[in-house]
Structure 1
Amino acid sequence: MAPEDQIILITGASGFLASHVVDYFLRAGYQVRGTVRSSATAEKVRQTFSGYAPQLTLAIVEDVARPGAFDTAVNGVHGVVHTAAPFQVFGVEDNERDLLKPAIDGTLNILKSVREFAPQVKRVVLTSSFAAMFDPTKDKWPGHVYSELDWNPTPYEAAAAEGAPAGLAYSTAKSLAERYAWDFVKSNKVNFDITTIMPPMIYGPNINATADLAKLNTSSMDIYRLMSPQSKSSDPVPENMFWSFVDVRDVAEAHLRAYQVVEAGGERFFICKGNFTYQQFVDALRAHLPDIKARVPIGNPGAGEVPSDVYTIDTSKSQRILGLKYRPLEETIVDAARSLLDLEAMSA
């Protein structure tokens, strides 16, 4: 079936990553039905993709964790890309309520709706995360090579326990949501297969309609703090809390190819460019955006090598099956910064 004859449901369509996923599917010729939480957000998404108005429709799903939330939205679609999930590690009051249940229930809800109301769907692509692979007990894990064979081993009870860090609950939520998805497909008679996409920190340009300097997504804020008007060249370069990264456009392309490539069915894909340090980030910003050098930390230029005791990564599977070619760090960071400068100009 040609792309123009297929409707693809993309959940959470206003998000940082999801906007790029929508963009890739629209440019590939598909009809896209995006889900958003409100009519106001729907209008912003329409404005973002005004050039594709005939291909784009939007459905309001206020709460992805509500039973039956997607029953109507899946009607008549040919494929599903589920990106909608909580990404929050600050201000969490209840790990179970705010992170674990929404992630797990939202994933199971979309699969249940497809099984019951969209028998024509043959593939569901789920946005998982490197958090579903990462073992928090190993820290840098010297000598280890992360790949699709890895799973975060943290149990639900540990993440839901009172006082457990929200970051642990977030990573566990991603791991368990993916595990529950695989178990659902194995345990139920379904007409579709699933493919999961596991990116680490996702950087790159903002194209989402809801982008706002006052409430940037986590990874955009991670870049902006290195170049905001409040920062200066004498500021210290931050220490890494996370080591691996990927460009948002490469992750979006991975979702598209995971839907299109027959051999991708039933597979997990680690989507990652490699490891980084913030010294590499500031070096790229200072080299390619000289107008903002005064507000980008200098640090120790050229000394941004990733420490040898940090785990490494293997993304050969994504390159072999999906045919991905990853963008270099400089392109990712500079394009992210340029989009943030555009937001600055719009809000001035």
Structure 2
Amino acid sequence: MSQTVFISGASGYIAQHITAKLLAKGYKVIGSVRSAKKGDELKSLFKNENLSYVVVPDIQADGAFDEALKQHPEISVFLHTASPFVFQVEDVEKELLLPAVTGTKVALTSVLNHGPQIKRVVVTSSYAAMFANEDIPDVVSDETTWTELTWEQAKQNGLVGYLASKAFAEKAAWDFVEKEKPNFKLSTVNPTYVFGPQLFDEYATGPVSTSVELIKAVLKLQPTDEVPSVQGPFIDVRDVADAHLVAFESDAAIGQRILLQDGRFSNSKVVEIIKANFPEFKDKIPAPKTTHEEEIKSHCKLDSSKSDKILGIKFISIEQSIKDTVAQFIKVKAV
């Protein structure tokens, strides 16, 4: 297979796993990174001649991807994974909303103008763009629902801003396709909380993705601490990577929003898994005050049956995902 896939934000947590899956299937991969240092680091870790990189310092800049696409007319698939995922921000509009929306529009405009041969585009969105109302048990969120936050509401704080940024960016992508009628077909991948190990141990030693930081926070609890009540739908990063390949390889995925979830996790469940599999944490981590069932009962239902049928993937369990995540943290002495 000699197809060439472009992936923006190639040094990211999910993007690295996607790149590994692509290379394993024989694709050639061109990744965008913010600096040559990051690109060289990736190449030295992957050690694969089918991986190369281009430097795109600012994905919001007009024509950010133009040169990359002009120089590589062999690219036939464009995966846009680059987007901000932070909650601690001073200016929600400037640091979250505008980068997410503008970055998406810039990427698609570059493909429209300089990648006429590109037939498939996949945008990494989020369940954050889909949920109707997390706190109403009778509500069902699925591939048809949208987060109904306004731009003004989004500016409240970083968390609300992040949730809204994913919806605004994804809507911008679908609106772009409807308006411009490009040569390419669009799909989006909408993962929930993403757990699982970093592809390379080196990336587990420092700050990790916001979702995985939740696991690290539990591991750092002391016996006298209280276990924070945290819950949400989850998926393993390796399944997210597989879904991105299906999203451009399968005709069934054309024009679809692919919701990725395999049930709900809670900190109660995370503590239970850690205590059962890692004796060194059995007496260190305090016991939760609530059960898993109590933590998740008051939240909405998710229906991803349409996406599950398109994907045909047997998902990695929450137990395996947490075990692999914790084992890596222990291995690199991150906890």
Task: Report the Cα offset of residue 236 of structure 1.
Answer: 2.1
The alignment partner of 2:67 has SS state of: coil
Aligned residue number for residue 232 of structure 1? 222
Identity across aligned pairs (percent)?
36
Where do 1:1-20 residues align within 5 Å? 4-20=1-17
Partner AA of 1:83 in structure 2? T
Picking from 203, 208, 216, the partner of 1:216 is 208
Cα contact 1:141–1:309 (8 A) shared by 2:
yes
Task: Report the Cα offset of residue 172 of structure 1.
Answer: 0.9
Cα contact 2:223–2:283 (8 A) shared by 1:
yes
Alpha-carbon distance in 2 for matches of 1:190, 1:208: 36
Aligned residue number for residue 295 of structure 1? 284
Task: Report the Cα offset of residue 318 of structure 1.
Answer: 1.9
Cα contact 2:232–2:296 (8 A) shared by 1:
no
Range that drifts further, 262-271 or 68-77:
68-77
Deviation readout 1:169-204 (Å, 9 max, x if unpaired):
111111011001101001013100100011111111
Aligned residue number for residue 125 of structure 1? 122
The alignment partner of 2:121 has SS state of: strand
* Distance change >3 Å, CA 295–CA 34, structure 1 → 2: farther
Aligned residue number for residue 304 of structure 1? 292
* Distance change >3 Å, CA 307–CA 272, structure 1 → 2: closer
Aligned residue number for residue 82 of structure 1? 80
Where do 1:175-194 residues align within 5 Å? 175-194=167-186
Partner AA of 1:238 in structure 2? P
Cα contact 1:129–1:200 (8 A) shared by 2:
yes
Alpha-carbon distance in 2 for matches of 1:278, 1:102: 31
Alpha-carbon distance in 2 for matches of 1:102, 1:18: 18
Cα contact 1:9–1:32 (8 A) shared by 2:
yes
Alpha-carbon distance in 2 for matches of 1:82, 1:209: 24
Cα contact 2:129–2:146 (8 A) shared by 1:
yes
Structure 1 gaps of 5+ residues are none
Cα contact 1:41–1:210 (8 A) shared by 2:
no
The alignment partner of 2:292 has SS state of: coil
The alignment partner of 1:281 has SS state of: helix
Picking from 106, 111, 119, the partner of 1:109 is 106
Task: Report the Cα offset of residue 294 of structure 1.
Answer: 3.7
Partner AA of 1:201 in structure 2? Y
Where do 1:246-261 residues align within 5 Å? 246-261=235-250
1:43 and 2:73 are equivalent in the alignment: no
Alpha-carbon distance in 1 for matches of 2:283, 2:66: 52
Picking from 191, 206, 211, the partner of 2:198 is 206
Alpha-carbon distance in 1 for matches of 2:166, 2:140: 20
Alpha-carbon distance in 2 for matches of 1:118, 1:155: 33
* Distance change >3 Å, CA 22–CA 265, structure 1 → 2: same
Task: Report the Cα offset of residue 300 of structure 1.
Answer: 5.8
Alpha-carbon distance in 1 for matches of 2:68, 2:254: 23
Task: Report the Cα offset of residue 234 of structure 1.
Answer: 4.3
What is the number of residues matched between the two proteins?
Answer: 331
Alpha-carbon distance in 2 for matches of 1:271, 1:59: 29
Where do 1:33-182 residues align within 5 Å? 33-50=30-47, 53-74=48-69, 75-76=72-73, 77-90=75-88, 92-135=89-132, 138-160=133-155, 164-182=156-174
Cα contact 1:205–1:335 (8 A) shared by 2:
yes
The alignment partner of 1:104 has SS state of: helix
Tell me how large the CA RMSD over aligned residues is: 1.8
Deviation readout 1:295-340 (Å, 9 max, x if unpaired):
3333369x32244322111111122112122111100111111111
Cα contact 1:227–1:296 (8 A) shared by 2:
yes
Aligned residue number for residue 25 of structure 2? 28
Task: Report the Cα offset of residue 208 of structure 1.
Answer: 4.8
Structure 2 gaps of 5+ residues are none
* Distance change >3 Å, CA 209–CA 62, structure 1 → 2: farther
Aligned residue number for residue 330 of structure 1? 319
Alpha-carbon distance in 2 for matches of 1:342, 1:71: 41
Deviation readout 1:185-243 (Å, 9 max, x if unpaired):
01013100100011111111012576254422212211011113xx3344322102x41
Task: Report the Cα offset of residue 47 of structure 1.
Answer: 2.3
Alpha-carbon distance in 1 for matches of 2:172, 2:20: 29
Task: Report the Cα offset of residue 139 of structure 1.
Answer: 4.1
Aligned residue number for residue 329 of structure 2? 340
The alignment partner of 2:297 has SS state of: coil
The alignment partner of 1:282 has SS state of: helix
Alpha-carbon distance in 1 for matches of 2:323, 2:289: 19
- TM-score normalized with structure 2 length: 0.94
Task: Report the Cα offset of residue 291 of structure 1.
Answer: 2.9
